[in-house]
Structure 1
């Protein structure tokens, strides 16, 4: 079984370091944390993480929700928002990006761990389902093609 790679996007250095330490203790691969929208997009494309923990408020231009929009346009990765912001407007904006979860700080470690595991398992299942569907589509198209050729031969003989 391979170790899941998690990207932490968090504007507070101490929070990022603590979270990184906890995730490594749980057995995840967390090589680095990033602090801005620009860094988040660049690092996500570079390391292709299995999951992203995204804060809403980030350093520089744009926020975590903006970063998720751009990341979602180029890759399929589950997102868990991990933020102190629980106002209705922010939650509405974030939910449009279809995150796996939205966890409010301070959070319970068990809640975060459970959410990460569920997100990874669900994403893995969805990928397998998609691959199975693509395989089935190819098989069905192939069988229709053969049937079509056979049907044309039958008509030509008639």
Structure 2
């Protein structure tokens, strides 16, 4: 896949800019950066990214898990969580959205790249099996 398109959902501006810059340096195309679950759903519907990188705790009425659930169920776009939160309840909720990865902040570029590449590969395999 040439320059996979990624939607970044992160509500801290400085963190969002850092993630966008890292993704660009790693050779990915960032379709958009948004800070709310509502906007994440809207941008995913509009731009049809190859993957959504989403924080769990977001501004707005819908958290990252609910946004991910909607995106996965309705758009079949793979989700990778990138978050500082790893308590049992959140992980249990996140598991039910069938994420392709879960990266804890702070993270290394190699963790970001490996999770994204595995997620894109697994999604491609799943799509080919469904055809």
TM-score normalized with structure 2 length: 0.95
List aligned pairs for 1:3-42, cutoff 5 A.
3-42=3-42
**Greater relative contact order (Cα 8 A, min sep 6): structure 1 or 2?**
2
Number of residue equivalences: 131
Q: Judging by fraction of residues, say which structure has more strand.
A: 2
In the alignment, the residues of structure 1 paired with residue 127 and residue 50 of structure 2 have an alpha-carbon distance, to the nearest angstrom, of 12
In the alignment, the residues of structure 2 paired with residue 108 and residue 23 of structure 1 have an alpha-carbon distance, to the nearest angstrom, of 12
Shift in Å, 1:73: 2.5
Q: Which runs of 5+ in 1 are unaligned?
A: 132-158
Q: What is the match of residue 49 of structure 1? A: 49
Q: What is the match of residue 79 of structure 2? A: 79
List aligned pairs for 1:42-121, cutoff 5 A.
42-121=42-121
**SS of 1:30 mapped into structure 2:** strand
Q: Judging by fraction of residues, say which structure has more helix.
A: 1
Q: RMSD over aligned Cα, in angstroms?
A: 1.0
Query: Who wins on radius of gyration, i.e. which is larger?
Result: 1
